[in-house]
Structure 1
């Protein structure tokens, strides 16, 4: 459920060394872990050849949808097509992909050397000075390619001011959604993308296991999160935070600001992930620290475990994404929860898309009509929440294959073996 972009099996060989490292003071933790962990090789990053193929496919889709060009500003989709990893500010950095010919990169003049370092595809870099209008560069390029009279597609997260200012340059040009291009591509992961997501998942579950083995009374949620982050980084992942929810806070899907120190018998919900070469993991585990779960905790945990299996069974090629959520919600209602999104019960969607972003289209949620296809990736997290008492969330991600869904990580067998 977390989004690493906002805050945040082979790797297990390093868990023993990490266990000792996590007991030392936080300031020396990262260095000690880095010295002791046994790291395994990571998959390579996405190649320039794959990015070029993405551009060519985008152009095919632009032509098929009668679109003249597409504008993608800084963010995951800019990285997807060009390799440029850049933050968003009031200054436009983006790519303009025409239906025919090479794209251009538009960026401030003083950023050109940094952008050129990262660019992995054939594209001219066109720069603008601080007193110039960057959307004029975009408009001039569209006129050069003789597509200014055709619809221009905007990636769905592009900000309003870009369309507003392009419209001032080209009043007759229609700005439309680029979902038929960008979503159509990014939702279907290649083998190279799946390998990176698998590596990120392996790192996260190994970090969870290591932190779990080193929990001590008196630790705060921040302490536990820091331990997971240190372990993830030592194993080669990029991580900066996790949700650690204790007792009543676990009934709030995204937690509480109230601080709780760990004590025997506490119920703990951990939700986190990392990225490997820009591709994300997202995993949740719920367990009882240093004690036995009571009958109700065990019952709810087992129901959520069953909910995950119901969701996986419903995730079939050709089924709608919404039908997965429907299957879980129907079962939960038959067990006395809800109905619908009411509490106690499942107050959020069953899952979300995942890839370069922790949350990306489409969701496993009621009413979503997108049909499941090979290469799509989702979280599976049908939590149950009992307000004022506790919540249980188990979250594992899966990807669709021609034969059906396949886990990146396997759900644990029981609340007594929460990290198995």
Structure 2
């Protein structure tokens, strides 16, 4: 019943999960050394999150928050559920315990996953689930107070809640939900570190076995085999060869590796719901002087970003620092090509892409616990692109990489 179509899988069109893993991949997987995986988020930590959410709701004057299926539902309750036309969600009041609303026939599955104290209220197929939400708000005497909606909630939930509670004031729950999720705890950082370690090992494993004549599905199969062996969850990656590497999310044109080709691997890994996102770019054979030059410039761009990522600095200043240097080298200006057509980085945590971004104009100050990708790629249309991507988190002493960028194009997986 659960179906996921990720951005990477859709664009690459060649998820390893749909392909048989070859004998080479199976044999090579046996060579990988185990990577320790920390335990998942505990019920105690989720209860702390709920307590903090209620405190923040009272400070912001929010009476209750509605969160439907997705990472934020998992964040507070441990329920990992897909979205459909049927509502499964949590209602967190500013006072007291939350409730979980779900179809009657899903109750046993929801009970298995629920890891905090919360009443489960069910609805039948011919009933309106938003009436359960409205009734709960009436019970808690918060009707008329703002109801916070998690930013990815779908419109029909707001529309149908207002049918149950005419004039119900709906506000953004970002000052609570996103503000909490943006700052990672030590437990969350440990899970992200494990995901990064697995992802880096998987890319090294595949990259060192990439040969002339291989197509993207074969290379992606190697990555998938490594992740499976090491305990990571993988939903397909980008494997861009030759000119396709000049387009950040690839091309649908068929490509196979030829000697001298640039190969760009951009893949994710999940451990207990926490993500890693790493890109490695290398050459099968000897890199041309132009490729070597651009690779070195992107490598320098990563270091510039880290120098700029100081506690208290506006997030957008990191992008500005990289882009300013690139423009001095003749790229751009701004997001024009040849150059860097995308932001320097994105937030990461339970989702591969989550707020906030390292992009021009973002004024949110950097704070300890925030996590980002660092990927200031350079793209030359019609020729090739270079992207190096490593994620980092902000500490009280400044930024710290989860994985160390490779030192040179000659050592792309060190």
Q: Does the residue aligned with 1:143 lie in a helix, a strand or coil?
A: helix
Distance in 1 (CA, whole Å) between partners of 2:143 and 2:24 is 56
Aligned twin of 1:122 = 117
Q: Quick check: 1:67–1:150 contact (8 Å CA) kept in 2?
A: yes
What is the aligned residue count?
401
| Structure 2 unpaired stretches of 5+ | 10-19
Per-residue CA deviation, residues 200-234 of structure 1 (Å, 9 max, x unaligned), is 00001101111112112211011101110110111
Matches within 5 A, 1:245-256: 245-256=240-251
Q: Which shifted more, 359-368 or 34-43?
A: 34-43
Q: Does the residue aligned with 1:265 lie in a helix, a strand or coil?
A: coil
Question: Following TM superposition, by how much is the alpha carbon of 1:26 offset from its aligned partner in structure 2, in angstroms?
Answer: 2.2
Q: Does the residue aligned with 1:89 lie in a helix, a strand or coil?
A: coil
Aligned twin of 1:305 = 299
Distance in 2 (CA, whole Å) between partners of 1:106 and 1:275 is 27
Distance in 1 (CA, whole Å) between partners of 2:25 and 2:150 is 38
Aligned twin of 1:99 = 94
Corresponding position: 1:386 with 2:383: no
Matches within 5 A, 1:7-46: 7=8, 26=21, 37-46=32-41
CA-based RMSD:
1.5
Q: Which shifted more, 212-221 or 47-56?
A: 212-221
Matches within 5 A, 1:16-415: 26=21, 37-289=32-284, 291-415=285-409
Aligned twin of 2:14 = none
Q: Quick check: 1:250–1:392 contact (8 Å CA) kept in 2?
A: yes
Question: Following TM superposition, by how much is the alpha carbon of 1:168 offset from its aligned partner in structure 2, in angstroms?
Answer: 0.7
Q: Does the residue aligned with 1:391 lie in a helix, a strand or coil?
A: strand
Distance in 2 (CA, whole Å) between partners of 1:365 and 1:241 is 26
Distance in 1 (CA, whole Å) between partners of 2:361 and 2:129 is 39
TM-score (norm 1): 0.93
Alpha-carbon spacing, 1:110–1:369, altered in 2? closer, same or farther (3 Å): same
Question: Following TM superposition, by how much is the alpha carbon of 1:6 offset from its aligned partner in structure 2, in angstroms?
Answer: 4.6
Q: Quick check: 2:21–2:225 contact (8 Å CA) kept in 1?
A: no
Per-residue CA deviation, residues 240-273 of structure 1 (Å, 9 max, x unaligned), is 2110111110000000011111121111111002
Q: Does the residue aligned with 2:55 lie in a helix, a strand or coil?
A: helix
Q: Does the residue aligned with 1:149 lie in a helix, a strand or coil?
A: coil
